Amino acid sequence: MTGWLATLLIFLPVAGALVVWLVPMPRGAAGSFALLVALVEVGFWINALIRFDFERQGATPNFDQQHTWFSDLNVSYHVGFYAFSFWLAGLTVIVAAASIAYAFWAGRERPRAYFGLMLFLTGATVGVFASQDMLLFYAFFEAMLIPLYVLIGVWGGPGRMGATIKFVIYTMAGSLLMLAAVIAYGLSQDTFDLIDASQSSSGWIFLGFAVAFAVKAPIFPLHGWLPDAYRESPPEVAAMLSGVVSKAAVYGFFRICLAKFPEPFDDYRTLILTLASVGLVYGSVLAFRAQDLRGVIAYSSLAQMALITIGLFAENLAGLSGAVLQAVNHGLVSATLFLLAGAIERRAATGDLDRLGGLARGRPALATVLIATGVIALAVPGSSAFAGEFLILAGIFPWGWGWAVVGALAIVLAAMYMLRVISAVLHDRRATTADESVLDLRPAELAIVVPLLALLLALSAWPAAISDHMVENSGDIPALVELNE
Amino acid sequence: MIDAPSVDWFALSPELAMLAAAGVALLGAVIVPRDWIRAFAATACALGFAGGLVAAAILFWKSGTPSLEVSDAISRDRLAALAQMIVAGSGLLAVGISYSSRRRVEHVGEYYALLATCGGGMAFLVSAGNLMTLFLGLEWFSICLYVLCAMDLDSVPSLEAGLKYLIVGSFGSGVLLFGSALVYGATGELGFAAIADATRSAGLDDDPLLLVGLAMLIAGLGFKASAAPFHQWTPDVYEGAPTPVTAFMSAATKAVALVLTLRVLTVAFPELDELWTVALAVLACASLAIGNLAALVQRRVKRLLAYSSISHAGFMLIAIAAANELGGKALLYYLIPYCAASLGAFAVVAARERELNAPVTLDNLAGLGWERPLLGVAMWSFMLSFAGFPLTGGFVGKFYVFAAAYERGWSWLVIFGVAATFVSLYYYLAVIRAMYMRPASELTLAPAGASPPREILLSASVFVAMVVNVGAFFAVQPLIDLAKDAAQSLPL
């Protein structure tokens, strides 16, 4: 049974998607069926969490399963979860359930196509985190793009055409370089299996992978697709995109760049840390200057992903565990914020910060949820984000205090932009277009957002749940980490 | 008395099945009552292709060791059998696509007869063992295609396409013939293997006659495969010809031309591989560049697909240029999803064309995806396959092609191919964008008739093409085993 859990987690949503597409069902049924599948998926993940062996030593991941795909080049369907990828998969299923619930509540045109695509996206993303074969990884990595392309292109806002084209062009430029890198690396190792492949010192192949992940994350200066894609998507798609899909880059850096290319990883560290630091400050400043709600969240995502990258490139216990913890935090925070932004835009018919304001008065639930999420996002001491950022800064400190100073500066900037959003949406009443008739969050919306918030609070109380349960079972990583301790 | 060579009729059975079907279809046009001609001829043609498919499959199974038959003119091996299966399968789908086209009844018998004959010629060509059978097969199917392209007698573009194809195609055949003559002059041999032996034993590897002959052979085959810079006829002919013919041509012609290129170059010219691999790599780059860049600006879908087919000739030439076992496998694997996707994409265009009674452009594709979900989803899969996205066979095909180039040590070719793929995304996704993403206000294009015609055979063909195309991604192992067995017939 446990051998099948990874496969089950990948293909349950895909099967759900096929059912939604192929079986005729009334309009309302598609959404509720999709939500049911997403919740069952969460249930399976929890089941897997209970069975997960965090102490497992050696290279084999949990729920390891392998079948030959084509044997002449040693490509196989090989899936399994390491601890860090298992947390990211958990983030995926939870955010997906919340997003699907939100879409169901908000209602979407052509529901069968829509919910099928959302489920398919969920399955493909879990697949990315589970793959232990490079070609399979690449296939899932690309397969995420197909539903996203349609979800933004068909159900997006007025500027969706430009947004999708930019998104696809940036992403594919990166991924095709990665395809070349996959081929070069796989053929030189004579296997595409990530566990069997040994380490390589080729800087070019490393760069092929790194650029693809840097676009997906995104890392400055490859972030050109980000603002449009996040602004034009439906809110729940933006939640998936920033909360979950960007984490594929974290996984890639971790599982491939770090584990398989330790030498180039070392060589390019300064370059990538510099880019990440620039992106961190730049993203934070843009978030502070952005004129609309989604712009703030989008640019803060840019900054947060840069911070996570800094943690990864610290390549020590503190930095890596901080990066994974922060990846989960940021996923939950940005998903919650995007769903709240969607709720606010529905009410005020605008996301423009100049035309919002005063929503706190008479709307206590909205105010409470937004402030709580915002406070976690700005990493107030005691929050899970504080724990993550602290670990990242502690991890990067040995590489030079300058990096840590930039990171600390970003925390200050985060406080500035989050407080600005909170005040612009909830308090500042100068030019608000939202009148008294605007409703507070409805029970259904609360049922979607509060669980996410509750998870964040739980992580705040016990961040070690993730940061202490990831390095033992992570393939080649422990050996590398010990080198740097 | 002249000794007649012993004929291995079994080796010729796929061709014979298709030829017989052509004869029956032609006879039927005279004997059968007028109302039934269409159904009769189409059934005969389909049975011929089905018979050819089965015969080729049995031939594949029984021809484990390659041999030369009929006084060494025909090579009986798995390479030929696999290519014959691809041709016959393409023909079968083409019949399904053709069936409900609005063709006047006077020529419907001839149409199917020519289609079957054309398939027979292709099946003959891929098993060619010497330069004579090569030229014979080439002309056999080309002449059928010239007529098929001009089959819509009422349509000026169709006549123009037929004439253009005739002139340019004949020129290509002429170049090929001249090249064959030069090769024969240099080596004194016609058989492919014998040419290689003669080159080796006489040390002809820098003989100018042989080199010019080789260059002209490559150019002649390049015409048929529509590789740049021999591609000029492709967009006009693909656009003007009746869409089902274009569908068949884009899949089967390309397949046989490329398989033959692989066979001729590896069997007859192994001594010169330093030269022709580089030449093919250059042709591949030219095709990729021209095909992809020109496709970017097309509005008419048939022209767009024509340029896309030029770029795919480029991808497949990369596999041949790699000249290793992986390259042979890559080409033969690539052809399977490529032919399915190409036939399917033109079938969708044909369906839309019949619905609107006008040439299909990116603008009037609008809304197709929502109106006809099967065609829409299928077109999705074909475009993704062309673009080399996962979940389609096109992805695995590109992967193998690039792997073959990398194994030869040509990383630059991999990078070039990757860049070309990147450019191609723009126009493949433009098709999808046109089908699904226009605002509703743009979707009110009045169809010619009341409701779109329900064409069961066409939909079935599209469905089969989609299944092959997507199935090739999941069932890589069996297909690559077929390709491996076929590639082993060649000295790679």
In this structure, is residue B4 part of a structural domain?
no
pLDDT of residue A55: 78
Considering CB atoms only, which of B391, B415, B432 is closest to A180? B415
CA distance readout (Å), B344 to A478, B3, B234, B288: 50, 48, 18, 22
What residues of chain B score a pLDDT lower than 50? 448-449
Structural domain boundaries, residue B239: 13-487
A44: confidence class by pLDDT, cuts 50, 70, 90: very high
Domain count for chain B: 1
pLDDT of residue A479: 65
pLDDT of residue A372: 93
Q: B37 Cβ partners below 8 Å, 6+ apart?
A: B28, B29, B105, B108, B109
pLDDT average, residue stretch A381-395: 90
Residues of A with CB under 8 A from a CB of B: 68-73, 75, 110, 135, 138-140, 142-143, 145-146, 149-150, 153-154, 160-161, 164-165, 168-169, 172-173, 176-177, 179-180, 183-184, 186-187
Question: Measured between beta carbons, which residues in chain A are less than 8 angstroms from residue B476?
Answer: 69-70, 75
Beta bridge partners of A396: none
Token couple for B403: 């792997």
In this structure, is residue B2 part of a structural domain?
no
Please judge whether B406 and A68 are an interchain contact, meaning their C-beta atoms are less than 8 angstroms apart: no
DSSP string computed for A341-403: HHHHHHHHS--BGGG---TTTT-HHHHHHHHHHHHHHTT-TTSHHHHHHHHHHHHHGGG-HHH
Mutation choice for A interface testing from B411, B428, B476 by most A CBs within 10 A:
B476
Residues of B with CB under 8 A from a CB of A: 329, 370, 384, 389-391, 395-396, 398-399, 402-403, 406-407, 411, 414-415, 418-419, 421-422, 425-426, 429, 432-433, 436-437, 476-477, 480, 484
Considering CB atoms only, which of B403, B429, B477 is closest to A187? B403
Residue A436 in this model has a pLDDT that exceeds 80: no
In this structure, is residue B362 part of a structural domain?
yes
- Chain B residue with Cα closest to A154: B437
In this structure, is residue A320 part of a structural domain?
yes
Q: A479 Cβ partners below 8 Å, 6+ apart?
A: none
- What gap in Å lies between CA A77 and CA A65, rounded to an integer? 8
CA-nearest of A268, A281, A252 to A313 is A268
pLDDT tens for residues B33-78? Answer: 888 888 999 999 999 999 999 999 999 998 888 888 888 888 899 9
Considering CB atoms only, which of A146, A150, A187 is closest to B406? A187
pLDDT of residue A480: 65
Contact A254, A477 (CB under 8 A): yes
Domain count for chain A: 1
pLDDT tens for residues B317-337? Answer: 999 999 899 999 999 999 999
In this structure, is residue A176 part of a structural domain?
no
Query: What phi-psi label fits residue A56: left (phi over 0), alpha (psi between -120 and 50 degrees) or beta?
Result: beta
Please judge whether A183 and B403 are an interchain contact, meaning their C-beta atoms are less than 8 angstroms apart: yes
A32: confidence class by pLDDT, cuts 50, 70, 90: very high
Considering CB atoms only, which of B389, B399, B480 is closest to A183? B399
Please judge whether A143 and B390 are an interchain contact, meaning their C-beta atoms are less than 8 angstroms apart: yes
pLDDT of residue A482: 62
In this structure, is residue A355 part of a structural domain?
yes
Please judge whether B403 and A73 are an interchain contact, meaning their C-beta atoms are less than 8 angstroms apart: yes
In this structure, is residue B173 part of a structural domain?
yes
In this structure, is residue B76 part of a structural domain?
yes
- What gap in Å lies between CA A453 and CA A447, rounded to an integer? 10
What's the pTM?
Answer: 0.93
pLDDT of residue A431: 67
CA-nearest of B374, B347, B340 to B100 is B347
In this structure, is residue A94 part of a structural domain?
no
- Chain B residue with Cα closest to A70: B477
Token couple for A442: 């409805």
In this structure, is residue B118 part of a structural domain?
yes
A151: confidence class by pLDDT, cuts 50, 70, 90: very high
In this structure, is residue B446 part of a structural domain?
yes
- What gap in Å lies between CA B9 and CA B20, rounded to an integer? 14
Looking at this predicted complex, what is its ipTM?
0.92
Considering CB atoms only, which of B390, B432, B480 is closest to A142? B390
Structural domain boundaries, residue A340: 268-485
Please judge whether B399 and A149 are an interchain contact, meaning their C-beta atoms are less than 8 angstroms apart: no
Question: Measured between beta carbons, which residues in chain A are less than 8 angstroms from residue B418?
Answer: 176-177, 179-180
- Tell me how crowded residue A169 is: count the other CB atoms within 10 A of its CB: 17
- Chain A residue with Cα closest to B433: A153
pLDDT of residue A160: 87
pLDDT of residue A142: 92
Please judge whether B389 and A142 are an interchain contact, meaning their C-beta atoms are less than 8 angstroms apart: yes
Residue in the block written with tokens 């891929």: B126
In this structure, is residue A403 part of a structural domain?
yes
Least confident residue range of A314-323, A468-477, B112-121, B143-152: A468-477
